[in-house]
Amino acid sequence: MTDLTQQEWASKLAADENAVVLDVRTPEEVALGIIPDAIVIDIYKGQGFIEDIEKLDTSKTYYVYCKSGGRSAQACRVMNQLGFKNTYNLIGGFSEWSGEVASI
């Protein structure tokens, strides 16, 4: 896992053809908007989170975010334990995101 600033995260994401954006927030938080093309897997689903993560392609690069960066850091650590090699945590999370936002 690597922690990236908002600018680093956006820059790496834009240049990465193997990228997947992963939102680990709750449905209530997601209703406020998401980073475009993000897939949503709520980290508070517990074992359900693990099961959903295990369905993902470990060869992809994952750009993970939550509201402020804490849960996404935790998600990156879990993903690394499950064999994911490239996970990037968004420092400051969605609350500090200044890029494009999509509605669900």
Instruction: Determine, yes or no, domain membership for 102.
Output: no
| pLDDT for the residue numbered 46 | 94
Structure tokens at 27: 């449905």
Instruction: Determine, yes or no, domain membership for 52.
Output: yes
Helix, strand, or coil (residue 5): coil
| pLDDT for the residue numbered 104 | 81
Residue 60 carries which DSSP code? S
Q: pLDDT tens digits for the chain (104 residues)? A: 999 999 999 999 999 999 999 999 999 999 999 999 999 999 999 999 999 999 999 999 999 999 999 999 999 999 999 999 999 999 999 999 999 999 88
Range of the domain at 66: 2-96
Q: Which of 35, 66, 73, 75 is catalytic?
A: 66
Residue 76 is a catalytic residue:
no
Instruction: Determine, yes or no, domain membership for 79.
Output: yes
Number of domain units in the chain: 1
| pLDDT for the residue numbered 60 | 97
Residue 15 carries which DSSP code? H
- For the domain that residue 91 is a member of, what is the CATH number? 3.40.250.10
Q: Which residue has the tokens 């990037």?
A: 88
CB 25 within 8 A of CB 98: no
Quick: pLDDT tens for 9-33: 999 999 999 999 999 999 999 999 9
